[in-house]
Copies of this chain bind each other. A is one copy, B any other.
Amino acid sequence: MKKILLLTGVLLCCLGFAKAQDLKSPNGKLVMKFTLLQDGSPSYSLTYKGKPVIKPSKMGFDLKTKPRDEASGGSDANMEQKNVNLQGSLHSNFTLVSNQTTNYDETWAPVWGEVKTIRNHYNELAVTLNQQQTNRQMVIRFRLFDDGLGFRYEFPTQKNLTYFVIKEERTQFAMAGDHTAYWIAGDYDTQEYDYTTSKLSEIRGIMAKAVTANISQTPFSPTGVQTSLMMKSKDGLYINLHEAALINYPVMHLNLDDKNMVFESWLTPDAVGDKGYMQAPCTTPWRTVLVSDDARDILASKMTYNLNEPNKIKDAASWIKPTKYVGVWWEMITGKSTWSYTNDYPTIQLGITDYTKAKPHGKHGANNANVKRYIDFAAKHGFDGVLVEGWNQGWEDWFGNSKDYVFDFVTPYPDFNVQEIRDYAKSKGVKMIMHHETSSSVRNYERHLDKAYQFMKDNGYDAVKSGYVGDILPRGENHYSQWIVNHYQYALEKAAEYKIMVNAHEAVRPTGIARTYPNLIGNESARGTEYQSFGGSKPNHVTVLPFTRLIGGPMDYTPGIFEMDLSKLNPDNGSHVNSTLANQLALYLTLYSPLQMAADLPENYERFMDAFQFIKDVAVDWDDSKYLEAEPGEYVTVARKAKGTGQWFLGSVGGDNARTSNIKLDFLDKGKTYIATIYADAKDAHYKTNSQAYTIKKVVVTNKSKLSQFVAPGGGYAISFELATKDKTKGLPKL
């Protein structure tokens, strides 16, 4: 109580007295205070168990005052231009019109997910504000859950605010201290940086090193970082800042005032430097603050989904299926084979370049024989699908040229027979997975989208992996500007019309919209396994991703690499996969996704069939999930109950150093006996020096059992639990 008074005190002295309104979370542990300051600026603050999470922080917008369209009159002069508001400040001089508090409690069932049902339980405060001189209304809606806060701005239909252009959003997140942050550099075009762990005050000094080279990148500030941003305070609070329901709005980055430790929203601009083009009635995405003194609550939170609209796809369950797949992909990523078909031409012109006359260079991965090999492998080991990249014409000069007509998405190379592969896969009971690399030529993709989707349906493809490598066309736009966010949404909704599942790479990071459009079964939008082949990622990378990238939705991380020395696949590739084999198995649990790839080559799996058994067994859809251990950058341990079967699986990943994982198996069904198959690091395992050293043992366990398990540097372990019958347990040790 004292602390709250103290905080109020702070509020008084810093911001001057003004009317305030409190909002409590259902369990009372979170308290949000909204205040309208003396100058009419809206402000909010947040506490968790009395501890400050967000100190008083201002809210609002700067609007553009000179629309590009202003040079009007002259032609068509008898038609008057609509009022484009010329008053820039939408962050002060507000008066309180009304307050409305409500509470909400529902339970909904996701089409796919970590759990069978999700409770959406919050108390809401809607503050209606009026800006006096301009007579413009703005509503700020707060939703306070037991695990965090969401708020957004709403602009109702009104006379004086119709069309307006956001110059910048001015939402502050004032931190209560110099927290430890797990961050990547803010960037308009890439999210694929390695994470840095540092104090907030250290970001500026580290930034230059943190911005590593990328094909398309636009960093913007020495203290700019991306969301979802994970932080930990000295007094043990875990705080996560992100956004939910990003629709028709630019991505929000965070820019840090590192004197006062205040983050402010920094939106992604368009080609002319504007941020958001708005038409009332409209709303912004939700700005989210997850908080707990237990890191596991951050991972278990469903708040981001809850802040999204319910499923809009009526018959979703009938055609959206969680999928485990293999693919002709890792061999190109490692350089063992190629996407391209020939070296004959300096450039390619679709429809003009005649590949039938070209001399194949012999390294093309997507050839009929090789694809059938993957189909056979998938069929033999029970995988649902096979992804094939590099099947279509145009890969010889597919990026880096700002090329407009780069792919047509329907014309295969001479050595890839679409119909033959379609029929062969069908005969083997395997689904083909389409690949649409757009090279970020967005207009070209939209021009071909209908034909491309129809081509998929005609040839037995129900899912597409799309890619956005390179700088965006139209030129000047960015991967995360409103215009392009709008495109990803367009491609997703059109895919739904065709009953196509989408797994978009290099697209905007998810913000929970998979609740509304569950055909978005995957995204990359972070540093995936491919970077292990581009010089490698940090061993603890996979212990950060669940706290950051995965907050908004599943990631197509493409785990399951068994051969860590990539020079064995391609002598010219000196990269090493910084992970143990057991760690790779655990990722199928710790990096939740309804879409899981076994990314390595069949021949590598065939060398380790005992370990591969876990990838064959592990489920991809769940009735329940229990986070047992969690610390960002250190470790994540989670147990999940497979959908329908009642079978449990467990995964645990560690960080840079060895550790011992101590867990209770009390999540297991009471009174039942299980045989646990434990895939673990050998004592001498190490992500760099001994990454394939693993052990497999079977033990008998119950929900009373405790496990103490060694985890090597960059290591982990995975367990499958099967219900035991007497005869099966015979001779097996108890845990």
Contact = CB atoms under 8 A, between A and B. Distances in A.
Contact of A533 (B78, B474, B476): B78
Contacts of A447: 446, 490
Nearest to A157: B346
Contacts of A534: 74-78
A433 B530 CA distance: 54
Nearest to A494: B447
Contact of A530 (B75, B474, B570): B75
Nearest to A570: B78
A215 B271 contact: no
Contact of A474 (B78, B163, B279, B477): B477
Given A474-B477, A483-B474, A162 B78 contact: no
Interface string A311-340: 000000000000000000000011100010
A400 B162 contact: no
Given A163-B397, A272-B476, A214 B490 contact: no
Contacts of A450: 450
Interface in A59-109: 67-69, 71-79, 81-82, 84
B474 A280 contact: no
A159 interface: yes
A162 B347 CA distance: 6
Chain B CB within 10 Å, residue with most, of A68, A76, A335, A469: A76
B531 A75 contact: yes
A153 B216 CA distance: 32
Given A443-B443, A447-B446, A490-B447, A213 B71 contact: yes
Interface in A378-402: 397-402
Contact of A76 (B69, B78, B215, B570): B215
A404 B277 contact: yes
Interface in A225-278: 270-272, 274, 277
Contact of A446 (B404, B443, B477, B483): B443
A613 interface: no
A474 B82 contact: no
A401 B163 contact: yes
A681 interface: no
A403 interface: yes
Interface string A610-621: 000000000000
Interface in A432-456: 443, 446-447, 450
Contacts of A408: none
A475 B271 contact: yes
Contacts of A582: none
A402 B68 contact: yes
Contacts of A213: 71-74
A21 interface: no
A397 B84 CA distance: 11
Interface residues of A, number: 75
Chain B CB within 10 Å, residue with most, of A78, A157, A469: A78
A657 B469 CA distance: 63
A703 B55 CA distance: 95
Chain B CB within 10 Å, residue with most, of A81, A165, A476: A476
Contacts of A78: 333-335, 533-534, 570, 572-573
A77 B335 CA distance: 10
A345 B280 CA distance: 11
Contacts of A162: 346-347, 397, 401
Interface string A558-575: 000000000000101100
A28 interface: no
B469 A403 contact: no
A689 to B, nearest CB: 24
Nearest to A190: B75
A162 to B, nearest CB: 5
Interface string A528-540: 0011011100000
B469 A215 contact: no
A475 B270 contact: yes
A486 interface: yes
A270 B82 contact: no
A132 interface: no
Contacts of A335: 78
Chain B CB within 10 Å, residue with most, of A157, A333, A346: A346
A370 interface: no
Given A399-B79, A470-B69, A279 B84 contact: no
Interface string A571-588: 011000000000000000
A535 B534 CA distance: 65
Nearest to A192: B75
Contact of A71 (B214, B398, B399): B214
Nearest to A212: B74
A483 B472 CA distance: 13
A217 interface: yes
Interface in A345-366: 345-347, 349
A154 interface: no
A397 B274 CA distance: 21
B216 A69 contact: yes
A-B complex: 10 closest residue pairs judged by Cβ atoms: A81-B400, A271-B476, A74-B213, A271-B271, A474-B474, A163-B401, A78-B335, A73-B213, A272-B476, A74-B214
Given A78-B334, A272-B475, 11 more contacts: A74-B214, A75-B469, A76-B469, A79-B399, A157-B345, A163-B397, A271-B474, A274-B475, A446-B447, A450-B450, A475-B483
9 contacts: A69-B401, A72-B215, A74-B214, A76-B333, A76-B469, A79-B339, A82-B347, A280-B346, A476-B476
